[in-house]
A and B are shown apart, each in its own frame.
Chain A
């Protein structure tokens, strides 16, 4: 059953939204945060575990230095201060995916704090989001609920636990409350998570694949009456794990809160679960005494002291920040402002860069991604990069067109074949029998028929109305089922009629 909502416009007339995000980033270190077992995705259950990850009696954690350095990199990229000294703490709660029944995390001494990041929305408006902290912790195992109808917790008879993910290093990035986004709050939410994803990917510290849970977002939303300064009661929507979902979840929560408040009610402080299928949230656990996590300093680990020299040597290794990179790429590719913004907004900067480095010109790369692939992604309701078209495939396809083997219309069919998994562009072209007819003999036959069918048009052309040639070209293309090189057809027609183009 879905909660009542106000329309977004109505909500925005009465209320100002306040947002907050907790984004968990899984680091791509070779080993886990506190054990030397592999940090790998997709392997058979309980194969990437040792005694530490299972929390067997007697085990002790040892901190992965690379994970600490990755965390410092994230802190620096978010313009945070890096703590001179910080500690790990135990967060105590019982849950079967948590092998020790406490999570080794950081509490009052995060490794990075007090930063900011500028978020550019689609039209170029910039919001500054302040970062409260970024801290190190470990991921939990994976529960699979069995026996229920839906695969969800509710109705499940039992659950199976795989601890491969237990102990994977995480950095949790927490924002300060974000006020003033107004009706752009849902967009900002998406853009913020997108920016974090871009930053950690660019740093090389995470694979940043949201579909694999490398970047996971908890979104806090509250509303206050327009003009008020006291924050309302917030809800925390857990595990919103795609960019579009983040935007939709924030929008939904704004509308839901607005309906509650406009009806004179009070928002319940609780966690909410996001449902991608209905684009709604449902109530989770209310905040209560059960959230007494009894944090205390982890006695099995010693403080991390980030000396100035260490931090500066890490800072010196940082790659170019994404915003600066964008400036550089725009200049290098020679795109106009609107062209480049469209590329950014479509989320295909990386894809175009990869396509160019695979051998395409900037113009060709843009033509294929923006002209063909982005539209198909929209129809399929996925991110463009998720369609599975590789840069190499685009370069190959583009070469087929430029080499005169395909026309644009045929190339689009080949692209569909590539997306459908039928093989490389050449394989698709051959398998589908898409061959551009450029044999003049075959074309002349078709041209003769077309001219004979439309003698009055032929006359017009002879009389100097060259633009009328389109009708004859169309006839030829129809006769060849589109597999003719339209340019060559035009030349031959004009030649035949003795007209200079």
Chain B
């Protein structure tokens, strides 16, 4: 069984910005360990000489010419905003710096 503690999940939840109760953390730790056990077999066959595939169909050099296209109006841009002021998105204080 993979070792995934409640603290590990708490750390992951913090990285993923999802508030979780102690109960959720415990349950998630159990489920996660279970799932990780089921999927970790991938490392058995991942030999060093096997290249990684990140795109199913290999393409390269897909570019856009540097030509100005469409923009949204500020009203469209802000149409879904939970809060806005002065044509800008409004967010609560950011205190995790300084």
Contact = CB atoms under 8 A, between A and B. Distances in A.
Direct contact of A and B (CB under 8 A): yes
Interface of A: 29-31, 35-38, 44-51, 54, 56, 62-68, 85, 87, 94, 96, 101, 143-145, 147, 152-154, 156-163, 273, 282, 284-285, 289-290, 292, 294, 297, 299, 301-305
B86 A160 contact: yes
Q: Is the interface of B mostly helix, strand, loop or mixed?
A: loop
Contacts of A54: 72, 77
Interface string B65-98: 1111111111001101000011111111111111
A416 B62 CA distance: 54
Given A44-B74, A49-B72, A159 B67 contact: no
Nearest to B15: A292
Given A36-B69, A45-B88, A158-B91, A68 B63 contact: yes
B60 interface: yes
Contact of B54 (A31, A94, A154, A299): A299
B61 interface: yes
Interface string B45-66: 0000000001100111111111
A31 B63 contact: no
Contact of A46 (B61, B65, B88): B88
B71 A48 contact: yes
A31 B60 contact: no
Given A31-B68, A302-B60, A160 B90 contact: yes
A96 B94 contact: yes
Contact of A30 (B68, B85, B88): B68
A149 to B, nearest CB: 13
A67 B66 contact: yes
B60 A304 contact: yes
B17 interface: yes
Interface of B: 11, 15, 17, 54-55, 58-74, 77-78, 80, 85-98
Contacts of B98: 152-154, 273, 282, 284
A151 B86 CA distance: 17
For the complex of A and B, the 7 pairs showing the least CB-CB separation, nearest first, are: A36-B69, A66-B66, A65-B63, A160-B88, A161-B89, A302-B59, A297-B54
B63 A45 contact: no
Given A50-B69, A96-B91, A162-B88, 13 more contacts: A31-B67, A45-B74, A50-B70, A65-B64, A87-B54, A154-B98, A158-B91, A161-B88, A161-B90, A284-B98, A297-B54, A301-B62, A304-B60
A153 B97 contact: yes
B66 A30 contact: yes
B71 A158 contact: no
B97 A50 contact: no
9 contacts: A31-B67, A36-B70, A37-B69, A45-B88, A160-B91, A162-B88, A289-B11, A302-B60, A305-B60
Contacts of B86: 45, 160
Contacts of A51: 72
B64 to A, nearest CB: 4
Nearest to A63: B63
Nearest to A143: B94
Contacts of A65: 63-66
Contacts of A31: 64, 66-69
B89 to A, nearest CB: 4
B69 A304 contact: no
B63 A37 contact: no
B16 to A, nearest CB: 9
Contacts of A29: 66
Nearest to B72: A50
Contacts of A303: 60-61
